[in-house]
Amino acid sequence: MKLLVIEDERSLLESIIQYFKQEKFVCESAGTYAEGIRKIEDFQYDCIILDINLPGGSGLQLLKYLRQDKKTDGVIIISARDSLDDKITGLDLGADDYLTKPFHLSELNARVKALIRRKYSEGKSILELGNLKIDLLARAVLAEDQPIGLSKIEYDLLLFLATNKNRVVSRQSIAEHIYNGPSEQVPSYEFVYSHIKNLKRKLKEKGCNTILQTVYGLGYKLLS
Amino acid sequence: MNKSLQQKNTRYLLVWLPWVLLAGTFIFYILMNEHAHHMQEQQLKLKQENVWNAFLLNPEVRAFHIRGEYELEKGVPLPKELMNKRRDTAVYYPGEKEWVRFGILTKPYSYKGEPFQLTTYISSKEITHLIIKVLFAEAFIFILLLIAIVIINRKSSRVLWQPFYDTLKKIKEYDIIKNKAIQWTGTTGIEEFDQLNQVTETLIRNVNQAYSNQKQFVENASHELQTPLAIIRSKVELMIDNPALTEDTARLLTDITDANERLSQMNKNLLLLAKIDNNQFSERSSIHLSDITEKLLSYYEEYYDGDSPVIRKKIKPGIFVPANASLIEILINNLIRNSVVHNLPGGWVDIQLNDHELVIENTGYPIPGDTEQLFERFKKGREESKTTGLGLSLVKQICDLYRYTLHYHHTEGLHRIRVIFGNGGLQNSSQIDP
- Report the alpha-carbon distance of residue A44 to residue A81 in Å, rounded: 27
Q: A88 at the B interface (CB within 8 A)?
A: no
B191-272 belongs to which CATH class? mainly alpha
Domain with CATH 3.30.565.10 in chain B: 283-420
Backbone torsions φ then ψ of B74, nearest 5 degrees: -80, 150
Band (B62; pLDDT cuts 50, 70, 90): low
Strand locations in B112-248 (E)? 114-123
Q: Which of B229, B247, B250, B231 is nearest to B239 (CA)?
A: B250
Q: Which residue of A has its CA nearest to B301?
A: A191
Q: Which fold has domain A2-120?
A: Rossmann fold (3.40.50)
Q: Which of B70, B65, B66, B34 is nearest to B49 (CA)?
A: B70
Q: Which three-class secondary structure string do you get for A184-207?
A: CCCCCCCHHHHHHHHHHHHHHHCC
- Report the alpha-carbon distance of residue A118 to residue A115 in Å, rounded: 5
Is 70 exceeded by the pLDDT of residue A163? yes
Is 90 exceeded by the pLDDT of residue A188? no
Question: ipTM of the assembly?
Answer: 0.85
Provide the pLDDT for residue A82: 76
Domain with CATH 1.10.10.10 in chain A: 126-223
Q: How far is A168 from chain B (nearest CA, A)?
A: 5
Q: Which of B143, B138, B63, B73 is nearest to B104 (CA)?
A: B73
- How do B320-323 and B285-288 pair as beta strands? antiparallel
Q: A104 at the B interface (CB within 8 A)?
A: yes
Contact assessment for residue B390 and residue B370, using Cβ atoms and an 8 Å cutoff: no
The residues pairing with A79 across neighbouring beta strands, listed in sequence order, are: A100
By Cβ distance, the residue of B247, B292, B334 closest to A216 is B247
Residues of chain A with C-beta less than 8 angstroms from the C-beta of B270: none
Look at B230 and A184 and tell me if their CB atoms are within 8 Å.
no
Look at B333 and A182 and tell me if their CB atoms are within 8 Å.
yes
For the domain covering B283-420, report its CATH number.
3.30.565.10
Q: Which residue of A has its CA nearest to B294?
A: A182
Rounded mean pLDDT of B200-216?
Answer: 87
- Report the alpha-carbon distance of residue B149 to residue A146 in Å, rounded: 105
Contact assessment for residue B261 and residue A172, using Cβ atoms and an 8 Å cutoff: yes
Q: At what angle do helices A171-178 and A152-163 cross, to 10 degrees?
A: 130
Look at A195 and B231 and tell me if their CB atoms are within 8 Å.
no
Lowest mean pLDDT segment, chosen from A26-40, B132-146, B182-196, B347-361: B182-196
- Report the alpha-carbon distance of residue A4 to residue A44 in Å, rounded: 9
Domain with CATH 1.10.287 in chain B: 191-272
Rounded mean pLDDT of B342-353?
Answer: 88
Q: Which of B164, B194, B169, B163 is nearest to B182 (CA)?
A: B169
Residues of chain A with C-beta less than 8 angstroms from the C-beta of B338: none
Q: How far is A69 from chain B (nearest CA, A)?
A: 30
Most B-contacting residue of A213, A216, A222 (CB-CB within 10 A), to test interface: A216
User: Which residues, 6+ apart, have CB-to-CB distance to A149 below 8 Å?
Assistant: A202
pLDDT digits (tens, 9 = 90+) for B245-288: 888 988 899 889 888 888 888 888 888 888 887 777 877 888 89
Is 90 exceeded by the pLDDT of residue B63? no
Look at A170 and B257 and tell me if their CB atoms are within 8 Å.
yes
The matching CATH number, chosen from 3.50.50.60, 3.30.413.10, 3.40.50.720, 1.10.10.10, for A126-223 is: 1.10.10.10
Question: Which burial class, exposed, middle or buried, applies to B306 when counting CB atoms under 10 A from its CB (0-12, 13-18, 19+)?
Answer: exposed
Q: A173 at the B interface (CB within 8 A)?
A: yes
Residues of chain A with C-beta less than 8 angstroms from the C-beta of B349: none
Provide the pLDDT for residue B8: 86
Q: How far is B356 from chain A (nearest CA, A)?
A: 23
Domain with CATH 3.40.50.2300 in chain A: 2-120
- Report the alpha-carbon distance of residue A110 to residue A104 in Å, rounded: 10
pLDDT digits (tens, 9 = 90+) for B348-387: 899 999 888 999 999 888 777 666 777 777 766 666 656 6
Band (B45; pLDDT cuts 50, 70, 90): very high
- Report the alpha-carbon distance of residue A97 to residue B250 in Å, rounded: 32
By Cβ distance, the residue of B223, B304, B329 closest to A182 is B329
Band (B427; pLDDT cuts 50, 70, 90): very low
Query: CA torsion A51→A52→A57→A62, rounded to 10°?
Result: 80
